[in-house]
Amino acid sequence: MVSDDRSPFPSWPSAAPAPTSGPAASAVASLPAAGPWFLARANLGVLIDLLRSDGRTVIGPTVEDGTILFAEIASADDLPAGVGDVQAPGSYRLVTHANRRVFDYTVGPQGPKRWMFPPRAQLSVGRRDGGAVTFDAAPTEPARLALIGVRACELAALGVQDRVFLGGPFTDEDYRARRGNVLVVAVNCTTASSTCFCISMGTGPEARGGYDLVMTEVDDGFVVRAGSPEGTDLIARLPVRAADAGLVVEASDAVARVAAAMGDPVPTAGLHDRLLAQWDSPHWVEIADRCLACANCTLVCPTCFCSSVVQRSDLDGKVSASDRVWDSCFTVGFAKVAGGNFRTRYRDRYRQWLTHKFATWIDQFGTFGCVGCGRCIAWCPVGIDVRAELMAIAPPLATRAEAAPVLPVATTPGDYVTGRVVAKRPETSDVTTLVLGDLDPAFLAGRPGQFAMVALPAFPPLPISISRFGRDTIELTIRAAGPATAALTSLSTGDQVGLRGPLGTAWPVDRAVGHDVVVVTGGIGLAPLRPLIDALIAQRNRFGTIHLYYGARTPADQLYREELRGLAARGDIDVQLIVDRAGEEWTGPVGVVTHLIDRATWDGSRSFGFVCGPERMMEATAEALEARDLSSERIFVTLERHMECGIGLCGHCQVGRLFVCRDGPVFSLPQLGDLLGREGI
């Protein structure tokens, strides 16, 4: 139940009236609303009992398996009294203290994240009845929780995740429900380990907000302050007394000593730019020689949010559930796409993680993705210290994505609308176009270049470019490359599919008005460009010359062959085709599509270029277009990446500081900078 500048929750309701009689009333009658108060250690159990009597499950630190873990507690006896920890790179162990303090440790391998963003959460249930499909969002009825013992860095981490799941254009409803049902009792740190660096990240050791109650442990108990009306109400029911000046100073000094001892090991001023300037640093190779890609750092991290969607199905595939599960950018399959894996090397995965935490997270969400808790240092099996690596790589130019103009429907990963197959036609031996009707109007108002997340029960959702916008229909051109795409291309007329979208950025057709246009594509890449071509033809008199260059593997692999012949016959569009391999029936040019540009004689200084194909092909095409005097600001490409959520919440499609599904898929060359075609990004 948090309300501060990091937590976009509604304003707090008016506080419940304080008791007018009894011990609690006399204890707080003369005190300011926020405190400070003093709670004796012997009365800590009263706080836990009050939270439980309010119908909350109390989650707090306990000793388990040689670590301090958050788990359900029934009383103060479950807390780690007299237990501390010693942490170092690759090392964590518990120690026993002579005192009976219950929060005399730093942080264990898990934090509050698992309660707000659990390792597995059901998103939706899909059902298939003949050709009809339905998708029902999973009900979310989270328990009322009270988290006790949350540290300042962990509060900051909750704030960071709030920005990811609640602070953007799309909301994770499961997270919202869980987050809004939690009361937070924070603890200021009076001890620190050698792995802590919250001072550098500006997140601790003192909690500055985001809590209902905050406690600082002193010799005999706790100095307590309230941070919300619900916290004030709890204070009114606790056996507290006013904290005298000596106790307040003792608590303040304990926190100050921790801050002074920690120092400032990671100078963050300018770190964003320093780090992004080192994409090709040789130090990435040195890290890879030690990194095991075990994903421990991401699993213990309190802010990492990468996830995947997995399917659970009955045996006949008629009923299935989609579950969101934790994933990691360190796993070998995380960056796998239809054309292969774009991040196979350990150095690429570590670079992705580190640059995201300390640079591109700022571009995406306005904060660092690290809160300085040090978990990734302690729980790295080989003791890689992120602080040392940052200083070795980056010792002492964000771009603005164009906003999609259409308000999409059914964006949340567990939420779908349906469309019905009203026609289908084969394009090649393995490519089929589905014509969908009975659509939400938002899909009909989509723009060229946008895509839809398309799903059938028992199969993962797929991002499919919309290959034509009709008056009452849209078209999806799909290559059968795996089980999910094969299932889609096997649908019959009358069958339904689940849809989310339209999503992503569009081709900037309006910016090309009054200019020449060059459209370059290869293979199935013609599908995302087809609506652009439709828009150019619909307003043909608003554009100069139009060149369409299309390459395919063989003549049989060309899409929309009748349409291409029709375009060429118009006389006002230059259509040139090329194939990699030709049979006897082919009389046109053979080679790669850039050969067509090399042979051209037009001046590109007043042209716009629109390109779609494999990244290497687009990189070569961009170079060829720039050689013909097209400025980079007028060259646009569309990227294909593994997308599972379509709205920037699962992490699969990240390229540098950008999420392809949210910030793209259409980008100008300056937006991508040096990311296009760079290996491992």
Whether the ω angle into residue 205 lies within 30 degrees of 0, i.e. cis, is yes
Average pLDDT over every residue of 460-484: 95
- Is 510 in contact with 498 (CB distance < 8 Å)? no
Q: Which helix (H) or strand (E) holds 548?
A: strand 546-552
414 pLDDT above the threshold of 90: no
| Separation CA 13–CA 229 (nearest Å) | 8
Q: What is the pLDDT of residue 21?
A: 36
Q: What is the pLDDT of residue 139?
A: 85
Residue 301 φ/ψ, nearest 5 degrees: -65, 135
For the chain, the domains span 23-118+137-262, 271-393, 417-503, 509-638
> Greater confidence, 658 or 22?
658
> Greater confidence, 408 or 6?
408
Q: What is the pLDDT of residue 277?
A: 86
Q: What is the pLDDT of residue 131?
A: 93
Q: What is the 3-state secondary structure (H, E, C) of 136-195?
A: EECCCCCCCEEEEEECHHHHHHHHHHHHHHCCCCCCCHHHHHHHCCEEEEEECCCCCCCC
Residue 440, sorted as left (phi over 0), alpha (psi -120 to 50) or beta, turns out to be beta
Side-chain-side CA neighbours of 238 within 13 Å: the count stands at 31
CATH number for region 509-638 = 3.40.50.80
Q: What is the pLDDT of residue 453?
A: 95
> Greater confidence, 89 or 398?
89
9 pLDDT above the threshold of 90: no
Q: What is the pLDDT of residues 140-178, one digit of tens each?
A: 889 999 999 999 999 999 999 999 999 988 999 999 999
Q: What is the 3-state secondary structure (H, E, C) of 33-87?
A: CCCCEEEEHHHHHHHHHHHHHCCCEEEEEEEECCEEEEEECCCHHHCCCCEEEEE
Average pLDDT over every residue of 49-58: 96
User: Tokens standing for 119?
Assistant: 């390792």
Average pLDDT over every residue of 298-325: 94
- Give percent above pLDDT 70 in the chain: 94
- Is 110 in contact with 70 (CB distance < 8 Å)? yes
Residue 325 φ/ψ, nearest 5 degrees: -130, 150
489 pLDDT above the threshold of 80: yes
Residue 58 φ/ψ, nearest 5 degrees: -95, 125
DSSP E strand stretches across 218-373: 221-226, 241-242, 307-313, 319-326, 336-337, 340-341
Residue 247 φ/ψ, nearest 5 degrees: -65, -40
Which of these ranges, 229-238, 277-286, 527-536, has the smallest mean pLDDT?
Answer: 277-286
Q: What is the pLDDT of residue 338?
A: 85
Q: For 139-160, give one letter per residue: b (16+ CB within 10 A) or e.
A: ebebeebbbbbbbbbbbbbbbb
Q: What is the mean pLDDT of the chain?
A: 90
415 pLDDT above the threshold of 70: yes
Pairing, β 516-522 against β 546-552: parallel
Which 3 state secondary structure label does DSSP give 337? strand
Q: What is the pLDDT of residues 235-246, one digit of tens each?
A: 999 999 999 999
Q: What is the pLDDT of residue 334?
A: 93
400 pLDDT above the threshold of 70: no
Please choose, from the candidates 273, 297, 350, 271, the residue with its C-alpha nearest in 3D space to the C-alpha of residue 681: 350
Pairing, β 91-96 against β 83-88: antiparallel
4 pLDDT above the threshold of 60: no
551 pLDDT above the threshold of 90: yes
Residue 539 φ/ψ, nearest 5 degrees: -125, 45
| Separation CA 110–CA 132 (nearest Å) | 43
Provide the pLDDT confidence category of residue 34 given band limits of 50, 70 and 90.
Answer: low
| Separation CA 27–CA 224 (nearest Å) | 13
| Separation CA 600–CA 598 (nearest Å) | 6
Q: What is the pLDDT of residue 364?
A: 94
Q: What is the pLDDT of residue 10?
A: 28
- Is 637 in contact with 301 (CB distance < 8 Å)? no
- Is 48 in contact with 58 (CB distance < 8 Å)? yes
Distance separating the N- and C-terminal Cα atoms of the chain? 38
Q: What is the pLDDT of residues 423-461, one digit of tens each?
A: 999 999 999 999 999 999 999 999 999 999 999 999 999
What CATH fold (topology level) applies to the domain 417-503? Elongation Factor Tu (Ef-tu); domain 3 (2.40.30)
Q: What is the pLDDT of residue 681?
A: 82
| Separation CA 206–CA 622 (nearest Å) | 51
User: Tokens standing for 513?
Assistant: 């008005």
Provide the pLDDT confidence category of residue 35 given band limits of 50, 70 and 90.
Answer: confident
Average pLDDT over every residue of 35-51: 95
DSSP annotation of 299: H
Average pLDDT over every residue of 217-231: 95
> Greater confidence, 50 or 141?
50
Pairing, β 83-88 against β 67-72: unpaired
| Separation CA 136–CA 306 (nearest Å) | 23
Which of these ranges, 332-336, 527-531, 556-560, 617-621, has the smallest mean pLDDT?
Answer: 332-336
Which of these ranges, 9-23, 387-401, 541-555, 582-596, has the smallest mean pLDDT?
Answer: 9-23
Place of tokens 């051209």: 600
- Is 217 in contact with 104 (CB distance < 8 Å)? yes
User: Tokens standing for 306?
Assistant: 């990468």
595 pLDDT above the threshold of 80: yes
17 pLDDT above the threshold of 50: no
Q: What is the pLDDT of residue 337?
A: 85
Distance of CA 118 to the CA centre of its chain: 15
| Separation CA 170–CA 414 (nearest Å) | 13
Q: What is the pLDDT of residue 22?
A: 38
Which of these ranges, 9-13, 157-161, 397-401, has the smallest mean pLDDT?
Answer: 9-13
